[in-house]
Chain A
């Protein structure tokens, strides 16, 4: 089994979700994350005081899909296609091997 973990733009989440459903992925999880760059950026101001923050201003989500080894390239290509804008900051995809998967409801 493979786990496909993709950091994508939050704005492309709906596109990726629909594409994954279209190729037959029934269930996956996602979570909201923030990226951190190596330097503080000026992010605006509050009551005359500048706000500096090193977190990236692009809202991001991470999605995780665990699939049989035979299917993972389809999933990777599907995400790559759906999450693509061509601009810097489209995100990254990590693939790792899963040793074992257990379903809690089946003893």
Chain B
């Protein structure tokens, strides 16, 4: 018992005559004290609730980071499944080194090129120094209510490597390993961060009003443009276009391709869901719904479209349809309705089939459909922001066009320059014998399936 209250109570019993005034005073004192305690409790509760929200936000962002990370396994298995067995080690090796190179270069310069800070906002280029110097308060909600500095770096770093992975699939089965790795280093370290800064780092496209939620253009189209530059310079694989005809070169493992595609779908929950940049319950759950529905519509419509074109249910094309839907919804996953997301995914699923057929007609050889999925459907998804959802309208459509063209010219041009530079230093294409006997033997001296005789 409060000693003062105890005293007053004992006094009240011993001297009942003066008790009422003393008791009133004591009650007022105790009320004031209680109020103070309550205020303190409230303040500490508010502080811990803010701390809890920050912890939960950061936790979701770290989970999303891990989900984007596993997309690299998805790319590795998908690409190896859709190429021939004799090149499997080579395809897997490229996909193994890309995330490693991507993270290292992103730590060295990429992160600071892409997010140079407010001082450089609104421009075309900014750089805030080498390495990862943690700013003051970087590990608290003062840095960002959604994540710490470290989470920010790792989440964005996982995105960066995705760009070069897209290129890897399109140039597979004929590019020299060293040439591809040289290209990847420059592309991931310099081109992707600078172009990404135009939108996500607060650059001129962001000021303009260009909308790209999780990177239909910034990640997928940039990768797609790089892939286009690579395939144009490399030329098609031997045996693809001969005697005026187009010969299919079937991939060696549909199982691997399916595993890869589902791994990518899983990763997309982090790719889009993490792009909310907090654990906002409403927005994150909505984004996961639009993402999944677009993927589903893409699968169904790609399967139907290829059936009407070639009278067979082509699994590899259906897998491309899933990815087409995912790439398509990526730009507007946060602002489109459920119905919109289904339409965007369905259109992407149809487009991707005709895009694959078109690239074949143009004699541009893309073993895994990376151009059709990431470039064509990336453009479609970016345009869809101007057609569907809360931002639909002519002005937004114009901004989207400007973004697509600006990023397209810059990404394609710089990829072309890098590839030409690499060609001058190390050459681009493996020699004919190596291509026939396989890059596994030629580039690595080891096979993915050493106990099978047939090539």
B247 and A48 within 8 A (CB): no
Please give the number of chain A residues whose Cβ is less than 8 angstroms from any Cβ of chain B in the complex: 8
B306 and A48 within 8 A (CB): yes
B360 and A49 within 8 A (CB): yes
B116-167 residues at the A interface, CB under 8 angstroms: none
Closest to B312 in A: A45
A48 and B250 within 8 A (CB): no
Q: Is B316 an interface residue (CB 8 A)?
A: yes
B330-373 residues at the A interface, CB under 8 angstroms: 353, 356-357, 360, 369
Q: Is A103 an interface residue (CB 8 A)?
A: no
Q: Is A50 an interface residue (CB 8 A)?
A: yes
Question: Chain A contacts of B309 at CB under 8 A?
Answer: 48
Q: Is B4 an interface residue (CB 8 A)?
A: no
A31-56 residues at the B interface, CB under 8 angstroms: 44-51
Q: Is B248 an interface residue (CB 8 A)?
A: yes
Question: Chain B contacts of A51 at CB under 8 A?
Answer: 248, 250
Q: Is B310 an interface residue (CB 8 A)?
A: yes
Tell me the complex Cα distance, A10–B441, Å.
33
Q: B312: shortest Cβ distance to chain A, in Å?
A: 5
B297-312 residues at the A interface, CB under 8 angstroms: 306, 309-312
B312 and A47 within 8 A (CB): no
Question: Chain B contacts of A46 at CB under 8 A?
Answer: 248-250, 314, 316
A47 and B369 within 8 A (CB): yes
B260-311 residues at the A interface, CB under 8 angstroms: 306, 309-311
Q: A57: shortest Cβ distance to chain B, in Å?
A: 15
Q: B308: shortest Cβ distance to chain A, in Å?
A: 11
Tell me the complex Cα distance, A48–B306, Å.
7
Q: Is B317 an interface residue (CB 8 A)?
A: yes
Question: Chain A contacts of B369 at CB under 8 A?
Answer: 47
Tell me the complex Cα distance, A70–B164, Å.
70
Question: Chain A contacts of B250 at CB under 8 A?
Answer: 46, 51
A49 and B246 within 8 A (CB): yes
Closest to B250 in A: A46
Tell me the complex Cα distance, A84–B332, Å.
63
- Since A46-B314, A51-B250 are in contact, a sample of 10 more A-B pairs with Cβ atoms closer than 8 Å, ordered by chain A residue number, is A45-B310, A45-B314, A46-B249, A47-B356, A48-B310, A48-B314, A48-B317, A49-B246, A49-B247, A49-B310
List residues of B whose CB falls within 8 A of some A CB. 246-250, 306, 309-312, 314, 316-317, 353, 356-357, 360, 369
Q: List 21 A-B residue pairs with CB atoms under 8 Å apart, sorted by A's residue number.
A: A45-B314, A46-B249, A46-B250, A46-B316, A47-B306, A47-B314, A47-B317, A47-B360, A48-B306, A48-B309, A48-B310, A48-B314, A48-B317, A48-B353, A48-B356, A48-B357, A49-B246, A49-B247, A50-B248, A50-B310, A51-B250
Pairs A-B, 7 closest by C-beta atoms:
A49-B248, A46-B248, A45-B310, A46-B250, A48-B357, A48-B310, A45-B312
